[in-house]
Amino acid sequence: MDFAAALAFVFLAGLVTDLATGLGALPFFFVDDVSDRWRVALWGLASGIMLAASGFGLFREGLAYGSVLEIGGGAAVGVLLVLAARRVVDNHEFAPREIAEADFEKLVLIAGVLTVHSFPEGVAVGVSFAELGFEGGIPILGFSVPLLAVFMTVAISIHNVPEGLAVSIPLHEHGARRWKLVGVAVFTSVPQPIGAVLAFAFVQLARPLLPIGFGFAGGAMVYLVLSEFIPEAREVGDRLPNGGRRELWTGLLVGAVGMVPLLFVA
């Protein structure tokens, strides 16, 4: 397998997840508002898929290469990275409107903050491609793509839709043009294809560390779901009857139940 071509393919997968963030702005091409009920359900759906893909995908795959201790150690490092990322983001928060109006110097700072925030998601995509080119994968563009990689790419993409929506709402309220909503949303996830390529290159060049890589990606994803995605859904759901729990749990169950059988096909 040509390494440069493989890197380009993984970058393309990361780019798909990045562009998916722009889908969060598309509803404003047709409606003036998106109901909280749908927002909560989308966060729940993304969380269910991510938890299933991490627990039954990344962690399970890691056990094929190493011990529980190695995976647990990697997961702990992944959680620490998310905690560090949150500290950086909390110290340099930017409103979507600021991103849209930033000058070049500020854009560089914003890009740095977004890199720290989005990097774990890109890593999850990159690590899931560890067996790219191996037999038994799904043929895509001349590559044998691991089933896990397909589902991680889909999972991150689905997660990015409500993120893009969350970014677009305040911009829309301030009268920003629709295509600017898409552009700003996509910009917030630009680090993901970069993280995907770096993680893929790492696990290819240091394959003995592969179980730690799977644990790292899985730990970061689970912690992100528990510390960011679900709290975000609950915050939005506070305005709904019963706190939006029905919408959240429905989304979670649909995402997890729909993902688990497909993951075990791999």
- Closest-CA residue to 217 (of 91, 109, 65): 65
Choose between 195 and 34: higher pLDDT: 195
Cα separations (Å) of 16 from 41, 45, 98, 101?
A: 22, 19, 25, 25
Q: What are phi and psi of 131, to 5 degrees?
A: -100, 25
CA distance 18 to 185: 9
CA distances from 213 to 41, 63, 73, 131 (A): 30, 11, 10, 13
Residue 198 clears pLDDT 80, i.e. is over it: yes
**pLDDT of 71 over the 90 cut:** yes
Backbone phi and psi for residue 144, each to the nearest 5 degrees, phi listed first: -90, 105
Report the pLDDT value the prediction gives residue 16, as an integer from 0 to 100: 94
In angstroms, the CA 34 to CA 23 distance is 13
| CA trace torsion 121, 125, 128, 129 (10° rounding) | -160
- The reported pLDDT for the residue numbered 14 is 93
Q: Give the residue-averaged pLDDT of 232-257.
A: 87
Mean pLDDT for all residues in the chain: 82
User: With 80 as the cut, is the pLDDT of residue 90 above it?
Assistant: no
> Checking DSSP bridges between strand 138-140 and strand 143-145, what pairing results, if any?
antiparallel
Q: Residue 150: its pLDDT value, please?
A: 87
261 Cβ contact partners less than 8 Å away, ≥ 6 residues apart: none
* H-helix or E-strand spanning residue 184: helix 178-187
Which residues lie below 8 Å from residue 68, measured CB to CB, with a gap of 6+?
none
Q: pLDDT exceeding 90 applies to what percent of the chain? A: 18
In which band, very low, low, confident or very high, does the pLDDT at 72 lie, cut at 50, 70 and 90? very high
pLDDT at 104: 46
Instruction: Choose between 15 and 179: higher pLDDT.
Output: 15
Binning pLDDT at 50, 70 and 90, where does residue 13 land?
very high
Q: How far is 111 from 117, CA to CA, in rounded Å?
A: 10
Answer whether residue 75 shows pLDDT above 90. Answer: yes
* 15 Rama class: left (phi>0) / alpha (psi -120 to 50) / beta: alpha
Sign of the torsion formed by the C-alpha atoms of 14, 15, 20 and 21? positive
- Predicted TM-score (pTM) of this structure: 0.79
* pLDDT, average across residues 21-41: 84
Q: Which stretches of 99-226 are assigned E, i.e. beta strand?
A: 138-140, 143-145
Digit-coded pLDDT (tens) for 108-163: 555 555 555 677 888 889 999 988 888 778 899 888 998 888 888 988 888 788 87
